[in-house]
Structure 1
């Protein structure tokens, strides 16, 4: 990964002062208008016991559009077109639709899809590299400024200007890791990449 702009990689200076953690993270995060690749999602209990693990592919275009496709251990596709979030369960022949604002509020997807400064909703602190941290990555801990969301904190690890690991910690001590692989930053998406039409013969449930 080449590094064309020092401002994207923690070397931002203003009047000779090193950028704050939120400025450093925002410089990278807001410069990433979209990405696509593979993911592994692992949910653990408070004692570290693995509760579930799933894999799939994702594509995201900010603000508010993404295509998140689970491939194992089950097939499910979640598509957000900027206004509506569609959840497609092919085994059930069922599609659920909800307004994006209501469906994404307080969820990991809202963090990924947002193009706003992370400092608006979180206290941001830099993390030091330690056990379990991705190699050659920089990390930040995001603590929500309100208690309305589903998570107590979110650890964001980026290599260059693309995310490699997000860890969401819930109030009961459980965690959800989302690891990204083969990520391409700011790709050119087809116009219909984030469109969704319910397949014929499927039941559609949700808000009109």
Structure 2
């Protein structure tokens, strides 16, 4: 598998969530603590936009393949994201909430799809562009923490699919920022994203979430697959 295939695996593995506005699944003291955590998240990500550096690791269990990548993320609420990969190769994933573009400049190739199919209702880490989708699209439970500095949340989509079984979030106890997102499918494949160097309450330029296809680029329509 190419590094390109592993990179877009984040988006192609995480599909098929439900809709609605139910309260998180919770009981007793855990329920009160969970609601406090979710409120803290919603307040932290309530600004117009944020930016962060990211490290991504994709593990395909059956094929025993692990690929890594890193870059920079810019988000404008709601629904707009720009993932700029710098390592191992430059490539950019952009959505304006309606259209998604994946640009591979070294190959002069652009993949184009409908954003809701890949990011809508929290899919494809789309909840980062509207944190309220955590309540909207998932059953959320509080899990035993792995460190004293983080809460651990388990997110199960209301309508699980082969592509998405669960997501584990590590949430900073003090800042209520998401420091790690780990996504699993039913085959046990894993995509881990570590977020750092946050800049909250920024106002990104609208043109960051638009894309003009370069002349003579090889254009692939993802909706045809």
TM-score range, shorter chain: 0.7 to 0.9
Deviation string 1:144-189 (CA, Å, 9 cap, x unpaired) is 2212362211111122132110111111122111001111122121
Say if 1:22 and 1:118, in contact at 8 Å, map to a contact too.
no
Count of residues in correspondence between the two structures: 188
The one of 170, 176, 180 equivalent to 1:157 is: 170
Cα deviation, residue 46, structure 1: 4.0
Structure-1 residue corresponding to 2:144: 128
SS at match of 1:29: helix
CA distance in 2, matches of 1:170, 1:28: 28
Question: 2:217 matched to 1:196?
Answer: no
What SS class does the counterpart of residue 26 from structure 1 fall into?
helix
Partner of 1:140: 153
TM-score (normalizing by structure 1): 0.78
Residue of structure 2 aligned with 1:23, choices 22, 29, 35: 35
- Displacement of 1:123 in angstroms is 1.4
Q: Does 1:109 align with 2:125?
A: yes
Moved over 6 A (4+): none
Between the aligned partners of 1:50 and 1:205, the Cα distance in structure 2 is 25
Deviations 1:39-60, CA, capped at 9 Å, x for gaps: 010122449x661111111111
> 1:70 corresponds to which residue?
85
Task: Kindly indicate whether the alpha-carbon contact (under 8 Å) linking 2:137 and 2:157 is maintained by their aligned counterparts in 1.
Answer: yes
Q: Provide the C-alpha distance between the structure 2 equivalents of 1:170 and 1:116, rounded to a whole number of angstroms.
A: 23
Higher helix share goes to which structure?
2
Unaligned runs of 5+ in 2: 1-28
Q: Is the 8 A contact 1:167 1:177 kept in 2?
A: yes
Cα RMSD (Å) of the superposition?
A: 2.6
TM-score (norm 2): 0.73
Q: What pairs with 1:89-108 in structure 2 (closer than 5 Å)?
A: 89-105=104-120, 107-108=123-124
TM-aligned CA distance change 1:123 to 1:181, over 3 Å: same
**CA–CA distance in 1 between the matches of 2:65 and 2:32?**
35
Contact (CA 8 Å) 1:21, 1:124: kept in 2 or not?
A: no
Distance, in Å, in 1 between the alignment partners of 2:179 and 2:202 is: 17
Q: Is 1:39 the counterpart of 2:54 in the alignment?
A: yes
